[in-house]
A = this chain, B = another copy of it.
Amino acid sequence: MDAMTSQLSAGPRLEVHPDRMLPSDPALRSLARELYESVRALPIYSPHGHVPAQWLADDEPFADPTSLLITPDHYVTRLLHASGIGLDRLGVGQTTFGPGQSREAFRTLCAHWHLYRGTPVRFWLESELAEIFGLDLAPSAETADALYDAIAERLATEAFRPRALYQRFGIELLATTDDPCDDLRHHARLAADETFTGRVVPTFRPDAYLEPARADWNTRIDRLGEVSGVDVDSYAGWVAAMESRRAYFTAHGAISSDHSHADARVEPLDDAEAERLYALGRHGAITPAQADTLRRAFLFEQARMAADDGLVLTMHPAVYRNHHPATFAGYGADVGADIPLQVEFTRAVQPMLAAFGTSPGFHVVFFTIDETVYARELAPLAGFYPSVFVGVPWWFIDAPDAMARFRSSVTETAGFTRTSGFIDDTRAYLSIPARHDLSRRIDAGFLARLVAEHRLSMDEALQSAHELVTGNPRRAFKL
């Protein structure tokens, strides 16, 4: 890399300090560094994410810096949008986006680098530039082209193909997120490919099939019936079809199902009422309130299936999807216009935990962007129920200060063992190592403080740091 790096034109240097994100106090820094170093190079478990399996199955080179680093990453595009840059200029939702546009988008990002001060996006991208691409120029209007060319040059090489990066990143397990009707062909190809030694597993994500108020619900249910070969014209049929597809996913290596609805409620219905509402939904005659009721019963069924088939149930509730209708119309979903909502768990999940909370096969991980539930609800739940794990900070709060708040809020009630282990939940493949690295740094800083305040011995902290990276995800996700 050094040779490539030296070819870059002059400009502000990129400084990626080895101790970045560790506490600044010298005594804490020293402890944190030792803790961080002890886990820095451990393998990556990524039990929840959004990288397409096809990338690894095909192992084609990435096309260009912008389509890899900017366009699909709503963390990156949203702050540019907030500063007046149209999403179209960043390639979002564009059917064609030529090399000139791609380069221009990259220039736009670099010229607005100051927008990311204090955000984790900066940490991720700078870590990628320095540690994956071996570059030492700070992004700016003047360095944009040099950076673009250097990245493009590297992406064309064998070392930057998806599988080579998978090895280099030290990934032990990578979970994708998939539609229940997906045939998982790419997962099957990877499993059958002896030249690929990694582990890429699907995740069962049936959200759209649980929301009868959606315009596309009946079409999706029809398709569910076709794919599963089960008659879905009854609630019982829906259940059987879901069981069939979960079995298909399990057979393809799935370890979890993931669920994201407007609230966290999970509530059973008696059979007759379930059938009645289901019929209304199938006839397009269901009210929004009835659709919510049915959705909560559908989710209860998923929990029951989870207790039976052992798939870990993960919940990412309470997001207002596509908050800006014009953006949705123009650019589609997942472009940065999803906004979190307040959430409630204690009452919402009580029926589920009353039924399955101590079932041996049942594991549930609760993720939240509403930090108020960590100390108030999730830590108390996970500190009692053997099935419950507190998910680490997700999405907007997958960030250094928020991670520190998370440990401070959860640990005093639930300790370290009842948390999920880090998940990156990202579409940005190249950011995976940086995301896990950031988590390890912050946890090291938190543990360092406990040692410095004589709450833990250093031996214990070293052991817990290791557990958070390996034991916790393996236990929560049954790896």
Chain B residues with CB below 8 A from A353, complex form? 323-324
Once the chains bind, are A24 and B20 in contact (CB under 8 Å)?
no
Once the chains bind, are A384 and B464 in contact (CB under 8 Å)?
no
A390 to chain B, nearest CB (A): 11
Once the chains bind, are B453 and A24 in contact (CB under 8 Å)?
yes
CA of A376 to CA of B394, assembled, Å: 11
CA of A26 to CA of B386, assembled, Å: 40
Once the chains bind, are B454 and A15 in contact (CB under 8 Å)?
yes
Once the chains bind, are A417 and B114 in contact (CB under 8 Å)?
yes
A411 within 8 Å of B (CB atoms): yes
Nearest opposing residue in chain B for A446, CB measure = B118
A475 to chain B, nearest CB (A): 10
Copies of this chain present: 3
A466 to chain B, nearest CB (A): 12
A389 to chain B, nearest CB (A): 10
Nearest opposing residue in chain B for A360, CB measure = B84
| Partner of A371 from B81, B375, B384 at Cβ < 8 Å | B375
CA of A369 to CA of B412, assembled, Å: 13
A72 within 8 Å of B (CB atoms): no
Report 11 cross-chain contacts, Cβ distance below 8 Å, ordered by A residue.
A21-B455, A26-B27, A83-B417, A114-B464, A117-B455, A323-B381, A326-B358, A327-B358, A339-B384, A342-B344, A372-B372
A413 within 8 Å of B (CB atoms): yes
Once the chains bind, are B452 and A414 in contact (CB under 8 Å)?
no
| Partner of A402 from B15, B23, B375, B463 at Cβ < 8 Å | B375
For A40-80 the 0/1 string (1 means CB < 8 A from B) is: 00000000000000000000000000000000000000110
A119 to chain B, nearest CB (A): 5
CA of A357 to CA of B78, assembled, Å: 14
Once the chains bind, are B24 and A117 in contact (CB under 8 Å)?
no
On whether A450 and B118 interact (CB within 8 A), knowing A339-B377, A358-B324, A396-B380, the answer reads: yes
Once the chains bind, are B415 and A119 in contact (CB under 8 Å)?
yes
Chain B residues with CB below 8 A from A340, complex form? 346, 376-377, 380
**Contacting residues of chain A (94-149) with chain B, CB-CB under 8 angstroms:** 114-120, 122-123
CA of A418 to CA of B388, assembled, Å: 37
Q: Give 7 A-B pairs besides A320-B346, A323-B384 with Cβ atoms closer than 8 angstroms.
A: A79-B414, A82-B386, A117-B415, A117-B460, A117-B464, A118-B415, A336-B383
**Contacting residues of chain A (329-363) with chain B, CB-CB under 8 angstroms:** 336-342, 344, 346-347, 350, 353-354, 357-358
On whether A452 and B24 interact (CB within 8 A), knowing A118-B412, A346-B323, A400-B412, the answer reads: yes
Chain B residues with CB below 8 A from A358, complex form? 324, 326-327
CA of A82 to CA of B385, assembled, Å: 5
Chain B residues with CB below 8 A from A37, complex form? none
Chain B residues with CB below 8 A from A15, complex form? 454, 457
CA of A463 to CA of B93, assembled, Å: 34
CA of A27 to CA of B124, assembled, Å: 26
A160 to chain B, nearest CB (A): 27
On whether A376 and B370 interact (CB within 8 A), knowing A350-B323, A413-B396, the answer reads: yes
Once the chains bind, are B385 and A412 in contact (CB under 8 Å)?
no
On whether A456 and B118 interact (CB within 8 A), knowing A375-B397, A399-B412, the answer reads: yes
Once the chains bind, are A357 and B23 in contact (CB under 8 Å)?
no
A229 within 8 Å of B (CB atoms): no
**Contacting residues of chain A (1-56) with chain B, CB-CB under 8 angstroms:** 15, 17, 19-28
Once the chains bind, are B342 and A412 in contact (CB under 8 Å)?
no
